[in-house]
A and B are shown apart, each in its own frame.
Chain A
Amino acid sequence: MTDLAERLDGIRVRVQAPGADIEAELRRRTGITLSFGESVYEFINESALERVLVALARLLWAGWQRQYRAAIEETDLHIDADDLRDANFFADRAKVEAVGTSSDERITITAVGMADFSVRIAAGTTRDIPEDRFAANAAEAAMKVIQNFQAQVDELKKRYYE
């Protein structure tokens, strides 16, 4: 039987944006890839792309949570709230605001409690940078928001559980 770490590393979530031929994939916990259908990138504007990325983020997080729970259910670990301490931890975690910005600062992803996502794309981005560059920048911003959320939750967990 594989270790839990291997099972978690092996979680792969692939989602498609509702109403758009744009897909995203999450692998090895923080690795995100974004791919566009043919000619989609050329004809989409920034505000529409922001809405698509928000939808993809929600779907990726939900997919990850579902597979993560399934992996944990095969163990004796307990991850749900049992008492007031847990309830307070989850309430505080829901308020954690994480931000990830691409190196060129064109894409910024914000997540509150990894539930409420917002995406800001600088005006003219789709015109100025090609599809593959945009996808790489979006992946970078997504990875940073995950890492930022994780770092803040680490501190929160130390307060509650160490």
Chain B
Amino acid sequence: MSFDQLMEHARDITDKAVDLTAKEIAQKKATQSGANPDRNAIRQSYAFIEGMFEPFSRLPDPVRYDPLIADVNAAMAKLNTGSVRTTELSNDVSLTNPHLDKMTTDGGYLQGWTGDAAMAFKANFVDTFKSIAGNQFTVLSILKGVLQAHRAMWLKARDDIDKIAENTKNALDNAGGCGKNQWSFDFSVLSAVGAVGGVVVAVATGGVVPLAAIGALASVGSAGVAGLTAAGDSAEKIVNSMKQAIDELTRHVQEVETQQIAEKVRALTEAVQGNKDKLVSARPNLAGMNDRDLVGDSGMGKSD
């Protein structure tokens, strides 16, 4: 089965449910007296089936997340000093950006520059450069993890609804046989965030951006795939079980999005807001200095 034909599957389910119900009524009436089953009335009673699948046929396309993830990847590549340990989120950021090395091999360029400004520049910009760039890299890697989790959520939601349709059809087809007819509905969407196992903190060397809370959330989604199992042969039982599965899937999608993914975004935003000094270098004193101080020892100082 495929997600693209979801509404076709919904119509098939309706047809099969109508057929099975009509057969059940006919069998019941064979032992009583009565007219043939009213198929129009039966069809009417199952009109809700297509309506239940319709919102799922409009789920966002996971492929649309790919350009966003590629953009974040490109930004990560620019910030990659090689100082942050590799995680699942950064292992596809291929190369360390060599341009950034010039900032960390300052000695040769700046050896002759002395004075307050020179010392401050070394302390505030050169010494912290790897940490700041690394922390920015870490923040981007978590942002990428959130995008990947959201993409995985829609992908799995599509798989789950497609499987619900397929298993319902099969259960209806196998009803009335001589053996047991048991089916299950699984909710892999619950593992969408956990599947992005790389949503963990990549601590920059020497950096102390406290993002542990965001990383901890990654385990929430890996709690397992709860499912529904039912057995029986009547159209009513099979369709009710399908209905329950769709209701649960809807709830799970909402939970994953509003609790797990939104929580990550909130935690990331708070971490960035609360740690600006570790993510962005301090504004240089020189920037607001008057001309006289700027050329003095407290300003640019002198070179040998």
Contact = CB atoms under 8 A, between A and B. Distances in A.
A77 B174 contact: yes
B114 to A, nearest CB: 75
B233 A161 contact: yes
A99 to B, nearest CB: 16
A4 B233 contact: no
Contacts of A89: 180
Contacts of A133: none
Interface stretch (A13-21, A122-130, A147-155): A147-155
B173 A5 contact: yes
- Chain A contact surface mostly: helix
A161 B236 CA distance: 12
B234 A162 contact: yes
B176 A154 contact: yes
B183 A149 contact: no
A81 interface: yes
Contacts of B278: none
Interface string A110-143: 0000100000000000000000000000000000
Contacts of B181: 77, 79, 157, 161
A78 B179 CA distance: 10
Contacts of B237: 161-162
Interface string B219-238: 00000000000011110010
A161 B1 contact: no
Given A78-B183, A162-B237, A153 B171 contact: no
Contacts of B169: 3-4
Contact of B233 (A1, A82, A149, A154): A154
Contacts of A59: none
A39 interface: no
Interface in A1-31: 1, 3-5, 8
A76 B170 contact: yes
A39 B182 CA distance: 48
Contacts of B231: 78, 161
B236 to A, nearest CB: 9
| Best-surrounded residue of A5, A81, A149 (most CB of chain B within 10 A) | A5
A86 interface: yes
A8 B170 CA distance: 11
B178 A150 contact: yes
A81 B234 contact: no
Nearest to A82: B182
Interface of A: 1, 3-5, 8, 68, 72, 75-82, 86, 89-90, 93, 114, 149-150, 153-154, 157-158, 161-162
10 closest cross-chain pairs (CB), A and B: A4-B173, A5-B173, A78-B182, A161-B232, A75-B170, A4-B170, A79-B179, A161-B231, A153-B178, A79-B180
Interface of B: 1, 12, 16, 27, 163, 166-167, 169-174, 176-184, 231-234, 237
